[in-house]
A and B are shown apart, each in its own frame.
Chain A
Amino acid sequence: MVRKIVARFNSLVESVGRTPLIGLPKLSPAPNVRLWAKMEDRNPTGSVKDRAALYMIEQAERDGLLKPGSTILEPTSGNTGISLAMIARLRGYQMICVMPENTSVERRQLLEMWGARIISSPSAGGSNEAVRVAKELARENPEWVFLYQYGNPANSQAHYESTGPELLEDLPTITHFIAGLGTTGTLMGAGRFFRDKKPDVEVIAAEPRYGELVYGLRNIDEGFIPELFDPSVLTRRFSVGAHDSVKRVRQLLDEEGIFAGISTGAILHAAIGIGDELVKAGKSGDIAFILCDAGWKYLSTGVYHGDVSDGEERLEGQLWA
Chain B
Amino acid sequence: MSSESGASIEASIEVRIPTILRPYTGGAKVVSADGRTLRELIADLGARFNGLDERIMTDGALLKFINVYVNDEDVRFLGGLDLALNAGDKVTILPAVAGGAKNCGAI
Q: Are B74 and A236 in contact, CB atoms less than 8 angstroms apart?
A: yes
User: Which B76-107 residues have a C-beta within 8 angstroms of A?
Assistant: 76-78, 92, 94-107
Closest to B74 in A: A237
Are B100 and A319 interface neighbours, CB within 8 A?
yes
Give complex CA distance A236, B72 in Å. 11
Q: Which of A210-257 contact B (CB under 8 A)?
A: 210, 212-226, 231, 234-241
Contact A102 B77 (CB under 8 A): no
Residues of the A chain whose Cβ atoms lie less than 8 Å from the Cβ of B78:
236
Say if the beta carbon of A101 comes within 8 Å of chain B.
yes
**B107 and A218 contact, CB distance less than 8 A:** yes
A229 to chain B, nearest CB (A): 10
A102 CB contact (under 8 Å) in B55, B101, B107: B101
Task: List residues of chain A with CB within 8 A of the CB of B102.
Answer: 100, 102-104, 123, 317-319
Please determine whether B104 and A125 come into contact, CB atoms closer than 8 angstroms.
Answer: yes
- Which residues from chain B contact A321 at a C-beta distance below 8 Å? 99
Asked if A238 contacts B18 (CB within 8 A), the reply is no
A220 and B92 within 8 A (CB): no
A215 with B98, Cβ < 8 A, contacts A123-B104, A221-B65 known: no
Q: Taking A237-B73, A240-B72 as contacts, is the C-beta distance between A127 and B98 under 8 angstroms?
A: yes
Decide if B28 is an interface residue (CB 8 Å cutoff): no
The answer to whether A131 has its CB under 8 Å from any CB of chain B is yes
| A138 contacts chain B at the CB level, 8 A cutoff | no
| Complex: chain A residue closest to B68, CB-CB | A239
Would you call B63 an interface residue if the criterion is a C-beta within 8 Å of the partner chain's C-beta atoms? Answer: yes
Is B97 a contact of A217 with CB atoms below 8 Å?
Answer: yes
Q: Is the CB of A238 within 8 A of B74?
A: yes
Whether a CB of chain B sits under 8 angstroms from the CB of A23 is: no
Q: Which residues of A contact B94 (CB under 8 A)?
A: 209, 215, 239
Contact A127–B99 (Cβ < 8 Å)? yes
Given contacts A209-B92, A236-B77, contact A220 B63 (CB under 8 A): yes
User: With A and B bound together, what is the CA distance between A220 and B35 in angstroms?
Assistant: 25
Name the one of B64, B76, B103 contacting A123, with C-beta atoms under 8 angstroms: B103
Contacts of B1 in A (CB 8 A): none
A217 and B20 contact, Cβ closer than 8 Å, known pairs A126-B106, A231-B76, A240-B72: yes
Cross-chain contact B96 with A224 (CB below 8 angstroms): yes
B9-31 interface bits toward A, Cβ cutoff 8 Å, 1 = contact, 0 = none: 00000000011100000000100
CA distance A278 to B94 in the complex (A): 28
Residue among B19, B64, B73, B103 facing the most chain A CB atoms (10 A cut-off): B103
Contacts of A128 in B (CB 8 A): 97-100
CB-CB nearest in chain B for A105: B102
- The answer to whether residues A216 and B104 also contact, given A127-B99, A221-B65, A226-B98 and a CB cut-off of 8 A, is yes
Known contacts A127-B97, A127-B98; A214 and B104 CB within 8 A of each other: yes
Q: Is B72's CB under 8 angstroms from A239's CB?
A: yes
Asked if A13 is at the interface (CB within 8 A of a chain B CB), the reply is no
Structural contact, A225 and B65, CB atoms closer than 8 A:
yes
B interface vs A, CB < 8 Å? 18-20, 29, 55, 63-67, 69, 72-74, 76-78, 92, 94-107
- A interface residues (Cβ-Cβ under 8 A, vs B): 77, 100-104, 123-128, 130-131, 150, 182, 205, 207-210, 212-226, 231, 234-241, 317-319, 321
Q: Apart from A212-B19, A318-B103, list 11 A-B contacts with CB within 8 A.
A: A100-B100, A126-B98, A126-B101, A127-B101, A213-B103, A215-B20, A215-B100, A215-B106, A216-B106, A225-B64, A238-B69
Offer 10 A-B interface pairs, CB within 8 angstroms, sorted by A.
A205-B74, A212-B18, A214-B99, A214-B101, A216-B104, A223-B66, A231-B76, A239-B72, A239-B73, A317-B102
